[in-house]
Chain A
Amino acid sequence: MRVRGVAHAFAGRPVLAGVDLDVAAGERVAVVGPNGAGKSTLLRIMATLLTPREGTVAVGGTPYPEGVRAARRRIGYLGHDPLVYLDLTAWQNLRLFGDLYGVDGLDDAVPDALARVGLLPRAHDHVRTFSRGMAQRLGIARMLLHSPDVLLLDEPYTGLDAQGSRLLDGIVTGASSGTAVVMVTHDLARAHALCGRVVMIARGLLAWDAGTADVSHDQLAQRYAESAG
């Protein structure tokens, strides 16, 4: 995944001022930064939810805005909300998104996905009856259903129960070697533990980019504090 010169503004106020970021297949990158630094905006642009004022994003060979539909097929996005319908059952939700993504063999894929997040016993219950954590787990199943090449996670741990957090940890670290993960998070410790790289966004710019292998968590926290000012 390749981000080039992405800049964006809301109502004339610049939020991102030209960000470049490369994420290789299989790489796990955490995006950190103070509130309002533009990290969520960056992720929404990468997830095709926002068209940047300037710059391009590409997944594999397809840069967008132009090749947006091919790119969408390869991206799995999870935000603060699980992005599933509360008034549909878990099964109906996955069936719907499976159809939208053109997933083959849904009759097997849906129960497999539900089993993976521990929701198979509740498959035919409406999501409105689920706890927040269960809904978020269904969101994880929805995100993984079409086997995306890139997972884009925006504060995915908010609202997740202990079981879900463990599950997501496993998915992030155990993602198959071809799957890249980009995760926006506040949680520096988790970023350090799970991701191979930490990228700091401050005032709309990429402040620094560090591998976690040769930096301790404390060093990371110190650098964070320095650039957050």
Chain B
Amino acid sequence: MTTFSMTDTPRAGRAIAALGALSAVLLAVATFGVFLVAPEDAASGVIQRIFYFHVSVALVSMLAFMVACIAGIVHLRRGGDGSDDVSLASIAIGLMLAVLTVITGSIWAKAAWGFWWRWDDLRLVSFLLIILLYAAYFVLRGSADESRQARFGAVYAIFAFAAVPLSFYAVRTARSFIHPVVVTSKGADMPGTMLVWFLISVVAFTALFVTLLLVEVQQRRAARALEDVKRRLEARSATPTGGH
């Protein structure tokens, strides 16, 4: 069991504050650059600018699910609450980012084609599947006994991450296997300045992910430590004599 040491709290707090500030600055810079500096896309106009966020958020959510999977593997190998905290928090954040991906994608679809939803927009459809896949993680955890939540969560984090590429691929072949829908060309040919702003927003969202992850992990550690203290107080009041 991890013991909660009081000494590392301020340090962890400072690290989180610093990272949070960095993510805020990066996000501000990315927003500024994307809307005011990056060249306007000739074909689709201003709405194309949402694409920077749409794709960055999608990429970082995949990163989050990968972190969750790795943390799950670590948990199964070594046990401990820390890796479970990381896995759980990553999936929560990744799921949130996946929902953002679908929302921004839907806005893009509305602006570009006039409908909120297109079943032939592969990123949209794939992320809908991803959301269903990872939402189930919380259903599983919620229904498992407390003693099994971490273990089953880890197994499912691995299971779901294995399902991700298969789902992406299957969606592409849904109409025909031999002539799959090719990777959508939007954004494939980006001029240099666009690419720079795109990369900055990816970094910004990655920083945001790491910040949120640390906050969430720290929060769970604190909750567990509190629980521990409560239990010890209870145990002490149960045996007022104080002897063992």
Are A and B a genuine interacting pair, yes or no? yes
Which stretch, A7-15, A61-69, A148-156, touches the partner chain B?
A7-15
Among candidates B147, B227, B228, B231, residue contacting A10 with C-beta atoms closer than 8 Å: B147
Residues of A within 8 A of B146 (CB): 11
The answer to whether B231 and A13 have CB atoms under 8 Å apart is yes
Q: Smallest distance from the beta carbon of B182 to chain A beta carbons, Å?
A: 51
Contact with A along B223-234 (1 / 0, CB 8 A): 000011001000
A12 and chain B: residue at smallest CB distance: B231
Pairs A–B under 8 Å by Cβ, sample size 7: A10-B147, A11-B146, A11-B147, A12-B227, A12-B228, A12-B231, A13-B231
A interface list, Cβ under 8 A from B: 10-13
A205 and chain B: residue at smallest CB distance: B244
Residues of A within 8 A of B227 (CB): 12
Q: Smallest distance from the beta carbon of A84 to chain B beta carbons, Å?
A: 26
Residues of A within 8 A of B228 (CB): 12
A53 and chain B: residue at smallest CB distance: B1
Interface size of B as a range: under 10
Q: How far is the CA of A109 from the CA of B191 in the complex (A)?
A: 80
Q: Smallest distance from the beta carbon of A157 to chain B beta carbons, Å?
A: 29
Q: How many A-B residue pairs have CB under 8 A?
A: 7
**Best-buried of A10, A11, A12, A13 by chain B (most CB within 10 Å):** A12
Contact with A along B137-151 (1 / 0, CB 8 A): 000000000110000
B231 and chain A: residue at smallest CB distance: A12
Q: How far is the CA of A10 from the CA of B145 in the complex (A)?
A: 10
The 7 closest A-B pairs by CB, nearest first: A11-B146, A12-B231, A11-B147, A10-B147, A12-B227, A13-B231, A12-B228
Q: How far is the CA of A11 from the CA of B228 in the complex (A)?
A: 11
B230 and chain A: residue at smallest CB distance: A12
A17 and chain B: residue at smallest CB distance: B244
A10 and chain B: residue at smallest CB distance: B147
Residues of B within 8 A of A12 (CB): 227-228, 231
Contact with A along B160-196 (1 / 0, CB 8 A): 0000000000000000000000000000000000000
Q: How far is the CA of A12 from the CA of B146 in the complex (A)?
A: 10
A14 and chain B: residue at smallest CB distance: B235
Residues of B within 8 A of A13 (CB): 231
Q: How far is the CA of A10 from the CA of B227 in the complex (A)?
A: 14
Q: How far is the CA of A10 from the CA of B147 in the complex (A)?
A: 7
Residues of A within 8 A of B231 (CB): 12-13
Contact with A along B34-55 (1 / 0, CB 8 A): 0000000000000000000000
Q: How far is the CA of A40 from the CA of B147 in the complex (A)?
A: 18
Q: How far is the CA of A21 from the CA of B143 in the complex (A)?
A: 36
Q: Smallest distance from the beta carbon of B26 to chain A beta carbons, Å?
A: 40
Q: How far is the CA of A188 from the CA of B15 in the complex (A)?
A: 61
Q: Smallest distance from the beta carbon of A37 to chain B beta carbons, Å?
A: 15
**Best-buried of B147, B227, B228 by chain A (most CB within 10 Å):** B147
Q: How far is the CA of A11 from the CA of B231 in the complex (A)?
A: 11
Q: Smallest distance from the beta carbon of B78 to chain A beta carbons, Å?
A: 15
Q: How far is the CA of A11 from the CA of B148 in the complex (A)?
A: 10
Q: How far is the CA of A10 from the CA of B231 in the complex (A)?
A: 13
Q: How far is the CA of A224 from the CA of B15 in the complex (A)?
A: 57
A11 and chain B: residue at smallest CB distance: B146
Q: Smallest distance from the beta carbon of A48 to chain B beta carbons, Å?
A: 17
Q: How far is the CA of A10 from the CA of B146 in the complex (A)?
A: 9
Q: How far is the CA of A12 from the CA of B2 in the complex (A)?
A: 12
Q: Which of B198-230 contact A (CB under 8 A)?
A: 227-228
